[in-house]
Chain A
Amino acid sequence: MLKKISKMPFRGTPEQAEKLQAVIDESKNDKSLLMHVMQQAQLIYGYLPYEVQKMIADGMDIPIEKVYGVSTFYAQFALSPKGEYNISVCLGTACYVKGSQGLLDKISEILGIGSGECTEDGKFSIEACRCIGACGLAPVLTVNDEVYGKLTTDDISGILAKYQA
């Protein structure tokens, strides 16, 4: 899957920039530490938007295209932020057989975003995940740490409503 690039405006703070700069300063003499710096940057910002990759590229003296290439190659790097509420729909075998793709589609339809994306107000993000070990409750999804099981598509709007207030 091609990664979605967030259209949300960058909301980085000076504190975050300072933290990232410290990581870069420690690593800039060894270009092989690029992935380490990217991982730390993702911990600081939650994702790796253009502004952050530019800081990394300039700090490490690596062309931004190369940083971007790495960020799109590895699944661990995100180009979209997580929302205040991150909805994770299980597409593991059991949940999939029980119709979890339908749940994912329904959520996408209501929120107007796809998997790997975040709503413009920063409230919700969606991701597809593999088995979370709750196959007995299939199909399941989680909203942050809360688990919802044995769902049908009719349950979705109710669940979302709880967080939309």
Chain B
Amino acid sequence: MEMVNIKINGMPFSVPNGITVLEAARYAGIDIPTLCYMKELNEIGACRICVVEVKGARSLVTACVFPVNEGMEILTNSERVRKARKTTLELILSTHNRKCLSCIRSTNCELQALCLEYGVEKPERFDGAVPESSFDDSMPHMVRDNSKCILCRRCVAACNNQAVSVIGANARGFDTHIGSAFERDVDRFACIACGQCIVNCPTGALYEKDDTGKVLAAINDPEKFVVVQTAPAVRAGLGEEFGYEIGTDVEGKMAAALRRLGFDKVFDTNFSADLTIMEESNELVERITKGGVLPMITSCSPGWIKYCEHYYPDQLDHLSTCKSPQQMFGATLKTWYAKNMGIDPAKIVSVSVMPCTAKKFEVGRDDQSASGYADVDISITTRELARMIKGAGINFRNLPDEAFDNPLGEGTGAAVIFGATGGVMEAALRTAVKNITGEEPADPNFTEVRGMDGVKEATYSVGGLDVKVCVASGTKNAKAVMEKVKNGECDYTFIEIMGCPGGCINGGGQPIVPASIKNFVDVKSLRASVLYNSDAAKQDRYSHENSAVKRVYDEFFGEPGSHVAHEVLHTSYVKRGIYKD
């Protein structure tokens, strides 16, 4: 690597040639503030909060995109720089809805944090005309409030990065605003509800629809039996909301907190992840042996499913008919469990905690009410759970580690890795090998499908059969794979697709990590490591070893793929266009 000698605030450093001033400053232990910059996603140098002085340069330069070169002398903290940054903040604030006290992002707002850092004492300094701002709550999962928007375009970049592009920057100059085509609500286009716009927003302009009120009302209703399930990725992210380092497993404290919130039963989606594997691997083997549509594609991710329905409506036969683990859980809860416990399913309120905003869409889908009542009544995100815990005065960090309730709280190592890209594939392979060969694989670790690459491929020889698999995360990568599927240019047997880049651990419902950390820390890998460590530490690492799952088959479903299993655990899909006129 070619190195160059530069000076940062008078101190000499040798840094790789061509890196940005922002990156170079890290060598000097200096953080330069950013707002619009998101590494590899939004590198547009627009907000000008990152300006620095470069000796000899005509004006201040934007550190986020400006490359270093030999002999460069940079000042990151001069009077001129500080003044420019403060003025930029004051100008942003001049049209900003400054109702910070009631803002969902208060204390986790990148703009608020910078105003504090730069000593903005008069946010009203440049007050004047304010453009009319739009408000869009047409989707079941999110709200867009442009009065809080600072036009950084990170949401637009995130939406483009998902190959969705239903929001963008419209008009110009003072009238510039984020919105959808022809100022229509976003639900009239093909938004997939992934929530990636939300987790990339630095302020409170984009946020999830809060359903915690509905959960509290159910808990407070003595007539209701309120059951909660938690997705694997939640335990890998929730701790961040309580000051734990990124990549801390808080499964035990989470279960304890849920119990203290007043849920009647604290169960785990890991149970139904194992159930999903039983059904899905059975479906795969059936498709292979009976000449069904291949490749088969996983159906756990509701953002991905919605994407496929909008953009590849003619390829829906490739989707596994399995409901997602969230829905399988709810379906089993209100059928087998309710019957077993003698509880009227009408009185059960089925709540899920998900790293996902698209789950809020999924609970309202058709063909998702096996008992005659919705499989899942309310889906809240990891962030909403954190809000409930804080609101209830529960001292999360001092909670004991508790276990889930039985029987629907039991999950194997195969289930817990569902939350990371490649995890569903790996879990399915572990059981598919058993299904095809009658024996468990020598090594449960299928490491080829792990990791944060957008598209991964592997071929496994299973009982003399070559099984070629593909794993994609993020719908832009899914699109690349689907083009091949559509054009018959691939010979995959099985494909796993998750809607969010990196899988559920990076879902749109996870705690929001500011860009200042995201730009330098691999948040996705850290969170995924929680799941892989949990898997490695478990006694049972194969879904077919889950004793609760075995029991449910013995007592209720019979075999995977049985008539009852189809009635309760499988679903259907809808052809959607990309316009709703």
A: residues with CB less than 8 A from B are: 1-3, 5, 50, 53-54, 63-69, 72-73
Query: Does the CB pair B181–A67 fall under 8 Å?
Result: yes
Chain A contacts of B189 at CB under 8 A?
64-65
Please judge, given known A-B contacts A2-B175, A5-B183, whether A68 and B170 are in contact too, CB under 8 Å: yes
Query: Does the CB pair B166–A63 fall under 8 Å?
Result: yes
- Quote the shortest CB–CB distance from B182 to chain A (angstroms): 5
Partner of A64 from the list B132, B171, B172, B181 (CB cut-off 8 Å) is B181
Main secondary structure of the interface of A (DSSP, over half): helix
Q: How many residues does chain B have at the interface if contact means C-beta atoms less than 8 Å apart?
A: 17
- Quote the shortest CB–CB distance from A73 to chain B (angstroms): 5
CA of A145 to CA of B202 in the docked complex: distance in angstroms?
A: 51
Chain B 150-186, CB within 8 Å of chain A: the 1/0 string? 0000000000000011111111100100001111000
Query: Does the CB pair A69–B182 fall under 8 Å?
Result: no
CA of A1 to CA of B131 in the docked complex: distance in angstroms?
A: 10
Chain B contacts of A53 at CB under 8 A?
181-182
Query: Does the CB pair A66–B170 fall under 8 Å?
Result: no
- Quote the shortest CB–CB distance from B496 to chain A (angstroms): 26
Query: Does the CB pair B171–A3 fall under 8 Å?
Result: yes
Interface residues of B in 419-475 (CB under 8 A from A): none
Query: Does the CB pair A73–B168 fall under 8 Å?
Result: no
CA of A81 to CA of B132 in the docked complex: distance in angstroms?
A: 24
CA of A65 to CA of B183 in the docked complex: distance in angstroms?
A: 10
Known: A64-B189, A73-B170. 18 other contacts (CB 8 A): A1-B175, A5-B183, A50-B181, A50-B182, A53-B181, A54-B579, A63-B164, A64-B181, A64-B579, A65-B166, A65-B168, A65-B189, A68-B168, A68-B170, A68-B181, A72-B170, A72-B172, A73-B172
- Quote the shortest CB–CB distance from A63 to chain B (angstroms): 4
Chain A contacts of B164 at CB under 8 A?
63
- Quote the shortest CB–CB distance from B476 to chain A (angstroms): 12
Partner of A72 from the list B167, B171, B579 (CB cut-off 8 Å) is B171
Chain B contacts of A65 at CB under 8 A?
165-168, 180-181, 189
Partner of B165 from the list A54, A66, A73 (CB cut-off 8 Å) is A66
Closest partner residue, chain A, to B163 (CB atom)? A63
CA of A2 to CA of B579 in the docked complex: distance in angstroms?
A: 24
Chain A contacts of B175 at CB under 8 A?
1-2
Chain B contacts of A5 at CB under 8 A?
182-183
- Quote the shortest CB–CB distance from B578 to chain A (angstroms): 8
Query: Does the CB pair B183–A69 fall under 8 Å?
Result: no
Closest partner residue, chain B, to A1 (CB atom)? B175
CA of A73 to CA of B9 in the docked complex: distance in angstroms?
A: 40
Closest partner residue, chain A, to B164 (CB atom)? A63
Chain B contacts of A64 at CB under 8 A?
181, 189, 579
CA of A64 to CA of B581 in the docked complex: distance in angstroms?
A: 13
Can you report 9 A-B residue pairs in the complex whose CB atoms are below 8 A from each other? A50-B181, A63-B164, A63-B166, A65-B165, A65-B168, A65-B180, A66-B165, A68-B182, A72-B170
Chain A CB within 10 A, most for which of B164, B172, B175: B172
Chain A contacts of B181 at CB under 8 A?
50, 53, 64-65, 67-68
Closest partner residue, chain A, to B131 (CB atom)? A2
Query: Does the CB pair A69–B166 fall under 8 Å?
Result: no
- Quote the shortest CB–CB distance from B362 to chain A (angstroms): 24
Chain A contacts of B165 at CB under 8 A?
63, 65-66
Chain B contacts of A66 at CB under 8 A?
165, 168
CA of A64 to CA of B310 in the docked complex: distance in angstroms?
A: 14
CA of A3 to CA of B182 in the docked complex: distance in angstroms?
A: 10
- Quote the shortest CB–CB distance from B447 to chain A (angstroms): 37
Interface residues of B in 118-136 (CB under 8 A from A): 132
Query: Does the CB pair B168–A69 fall under 8 Å?
Result: yes
Closest partner residue, chain A, to B186 (CB atom)? A65
Chain B contacts of A50 at CB under 8 A?
181-182
Chain B contacts of A63 at CB under 8 A?
164-166, 168
Please judge, given known A-B contacts A5-B182, A50-B182, A64-B189, whether A69 and B170 are in contact too, CB under 8 Å: yes
- Quote the shortest CB–CB distance from A8 to chain B (angstroms): 14
Chain B contacts of A54 at CB under 8 A?
579
Closest partner residue, chain A, to B180 (CB atom)? A65
- Quote the shortest CB–CB distance from A121 to chain B (angstroms): 22
- Quote the shortest CB–CB distance from A114 to chain B (angstroms): 14
Chain A contacts of B180 at CB under 8 A?
65
CA of A65 to CA of B160 in the docked complex: distance in angstroms?
A: 11
- Quote the shortest CB–CB distance from A129 to chain B (angstroms): 19
Closest partner residue, chain B, to A73 (CB atom)? B172
Chain A contacts of B167 at CB under 8 A?
65
Closest partner residue, chain B, to A50 (CB atom)? B182
CA of A75 to CA of B1 in the docked complex: distance in angstroms?
A: 47
Chain A contacts of B183 at CB under 8 A?
5
CA of A43 to CA of B502 in the docked complex: distance in angstroms?
A: 46
CA of A71 to CA of B181 in the docked complex: distance in angstroms?
A: 10
Chain B contacts of A2 at CB under 8 A?
132, 171, 175
CA of A3 to CA of B167 in the docked complex: distance in angstroms?
A: 18
CA of A50 to CA of B183 in the docked complex: distance in angstroms?
A: 11
CA of A54 to CA of B181 in the docked complex: distance in angstroms?
A: 10
